[in-house]
Chain A
Amino acid sequence: MIRISCPFCGPRDHSEFSYGGDGSITYPALDAPMQEWHDAVFLRENICGVQIETWQHVNGCRMWLLVERDTMTHEIHSVRSAHPGMAAALGAEQ
């Protein structure tokens, strides 16, 4: 079991969360060339080591989080809200 420290709810088991995916992807503008969209949708770094990824606390506050996690050891280095404005408004730990 991985424990994820949700900035809104505190440390919880990862089974409360749903894994989103690679959090480092930035989607191009809607009118960007097809190749840029192809790369964003289909290609992945697939890092062996520390990566940024998204998780949603579906069985908790339902917030989306950005998690820095090692894909080999599963150690979590940092957790923060994916929407900093929301976190500030709700007074969550950052």
Chain B
Amino acid sequence: MTRFTAWNVFWQGMTGQKGWTRQWRDPEPKSHYDVIVVGGGLHGLATAYYLSKNHGMKNIAVLEKGWLGGGNAGRNTTIVRSNYGRPGNREFYEHSLKLWENLSHELNYNVMFSQRSHIALLHSPAAIDAASRNYNTMRRTGAPDAEIWGLDQLKKTVPHLNYAPDARFPIMGAAVQKRAGTARHDAVAWGYARAADSRGVDIIQNCAVTGVIRDGGKVTALETSRGKITAGKVAFAVAGNTSRLWQMAGLGRLPIESHKLQAFVSEPLKPLLDQVVVFGVGGAHFYISQSDKGGMVFGGDLDWYKSYAQRGNLPMVQDVAEAAMSVLPCLGRVRLLRHWSGVMDMSMDGSHFICKTPLDNLYLNAGWNYGGFKASPASGWYLADLIANDRPHKMIENFDLKRFERGLQIDERGAGPDPKLHG
């Protein structure tokens, strides 16, 4: 694998770009690995990378049923932020944001992380109070970039929002996180894959797990579409399909439902929006940013009914289009280029799980709701730590499956135990 350096880019430019090598290998699966990570999405790839980098582990495989970046890694709206308020989430996402800030250097791969700021619009005095509480918490816990903006500053920064005083929900201000932004999602998958592969991790694509072979309280091997593979330790990082693997391992039920979330991209436009703008009030939910290619990337709520299908329905397309028109009316004549849908683990409190399981050598990474993309570096970091040391790091000790039994819900929205409400 050729490293990307200024000299290499220059030299390849002078010599017809002939000297680049494959970014990662396409190995045949071996019959045994010390660690198998199931799921070649961002979380699985990051886990494999940090297992090797931080913990010096060897003989690691990542199994991916499709192709790299083909699941939720390539279906999100690429937003990175750490404006969480609940203890546990706050520190976790802050660590993730710090990892993002150095990720391109870390991976020697440009993930196009752009800290363009995240602007959540506020529409009532109560919303301003609630956001002030949350963003004050952020300022007190290591996020000096959390700000509450009044209308003057907001109008100066994003002049083309709908500021009409007779709008159904007039804009009164905004909660802003300046270090937040976007990254190129494919590049993150490719970057982690390339970096993990260069450290000897086998990334095996088109390899679906079809069975989990147990010996009492341990996993001994996985049946896959490319044969049986024995394993020392196994981790599941298959958000969307966690329950299916969990049941293959004979472990019963989880506090998770699979729901689908749609996302949209418009035709490319000239630079229009320099920030991530979020509109969420009165049942509407809408978030938008502009990609480097010019497309407006946006999304809204879940499709509201449980589903494993990676395709969306039209009522939600209409719902999102209406939200777009109410916040950015200038988009009215922009044509939609594509819309798609990803299947997500919606958990009972809207927060995730990185934890040990009832089986000794099985580890779980699941329940990411809407928030898996921004979490992926820290998620891989702490899952690798859990696998290597076989004990939860203090940072993730409440992200276990037993927290509901202890009466703990890390419920950012305060929506209660109904998975579809944690958007």
B417 and A41 within 8 A (CB): yes
B211 contacts A by Cβ under 8 Å: no
A19 and B305 within 8 A (CB): yes
A71 and B315 within 8 A (CB): no
Contacts of A41 in B (CB 8 A): 348, 404, 417
Give the distance to chain B from A58, nearest Cβ to Cβ, in Å.
12
Instruction: Tell me whether A48 and B258 are in contact in the complex, defined as CB-CB below 8 angstroms, given that A1-B314, A53-B306 are known contacts.
Output: yes
B88 contacts A by Cβ under 8 Å: no
Among B241, B313, B314, chain A packs the most CB atoms within 10 A around the CB of B313
Give the distance to chain B from A39, nearest Cβ to Cβ, in Å.
7
B418 contacts A by Cβ under 8 Å: yes
A38 and B258 within 8 A (CB): no
B315 and A44 within 8 A (CB): no
Contacts of B255 in A (CB 8 A): 42-44
Specify which of A39, A69, A71 is in contact with B258 (CB 8 Å cutoff).
Answer: A71
- The CA-CA distance from A14 to B306 in the complex, in Å, is 13
A38 and B404 within 8 A (CB): yes
- The CA-CA distance from A55 to B306 in the complex, in Å, is 11
Contacts of B256 in A (CB 8 A): 44, 46
- The CA-CA distance from A22 to B257 in the complex, in Å, is 9
Contacts of B241 in A (CB 8 A): 48
Cβ < 8 Å to A, chain B residues 180-238: none
Instruction: Tell me whether A44 and B244 are in contact in the complex, defined as CB-CB below 8 angstroms, given that A19-B305, A21-B418, A38-B404 are known contacts.
Output: no
B307 contacts A by Cβ under 8 Å: yes
A43 and B258 within 8 A (CB): no
- The CA-CA distance from A69 to B306 in the complex, in Å, is 10
B304 and A46 within 8 A (CB): no
A71 and B314 within 8 A (CB): no
Contacts of B419 in A (CB 8 A): 44
A9 contacts B by Cβ under 8 Å: no
Give the distance to chain A from B239, nearest Cβ to Cβ, in Å.
12
Cβ < 8 Å to B, chain A residues 7-32: 13-15, 18-19, 21-22
A42 and B417 within 8 A (CB): yes
Give the distance to chain A from B415, nearest Cβ to Cβ, in Å.
13
Q: How many residues of B contact A (CB 8 A)?
A: 26
Cβ < 8 Å to A, chain B residues 239-275: 241, 243-244, 252-258
- The CA-CA distance from A2 to B305 in the complex, in Å, is 11
B309 and A46 within 8 A (CB): no
Instruction: Tell me whether A51 and B306 are in contact in the complex, defined as CB-CB below 8 angstroms, given that A42-B255, A44-B243, A46-B254 are known contacts.
Output: yes
Specify which of B253, B254, B304, B308 is in contact with A48 (CB 8 Å cutoff).
Answer: B308
Instruction: Tell me whether A43 and B306 are in contact in the complex, defined as CB-CB below 8 angstroms, given that A21-B418, A38-B404 are known contacts.
Output: no
Cβ < 8 Å to A, chain B residues 300-323: 304-309, 313-315
A72 contacts B by Cβ under 8 Å: yes
Contacts of A39 in B (CB 8 A): 253
A46 and B257 within 8 A (CB): yes
B166 contacts A by Cβ under 8 Å: no
A46 and B253 within 8 A (CB): yes
- The CA-CA distance from A51 to B252 in the complex, in Å, is 16
Instruction: Tell me whether A14 and B315 are in contact in the complex, defined as CB-CB below 8 angstroms, given that A21-B418, A45-B243, A48-B244 are known contacts.
Output: yes
Instruction: Tell me whether A42 and B348 are in contact in the complex, defined as CB-CB below 8 angstroms, given that A1-B314, A71-B306 are known contacts.
Output: yes
- The CA-CA distance from A42 to B256 in the complex, in Å, is 8
Give the distance to chain B from A23, nearest Cβ to Cβ, in Å.
11
- The CA-CA distance from A2 to B404 in the complex, in Å, is 34
Contacts of B348 in A (CB 8 A): 41-42
Give the distance to chain B from A37, nearest Cβ to Cβ, in Å.
10
Contacts of A73 in B (CB 8 A): 309
Among A2, A19, A46, A51, chain B packs the most CB atoms within 10 A around the CB of A46
Contacts of A22 in B (CB 8 A): 257, 306
In this complex, what residue of B is CB-closest to A43? B253
- 9 pairs, A vs B, C-beta closer than 8 Å: A15-B315, A19-B420, A38-B404, A38-B405, A42-B255, A43-B254, A44-B254, A71-B308, A72-B308
List residues of chain B with CB under 8 Å of any chain A CB: 241, 243-244, 252-258, 304-309, 313-315, 348, 404-405, 417-420
6 nearest interchain CB pairs?
A46-B243, A43-B253, A19-B305, A15-B315, A42-B404, A42-B255
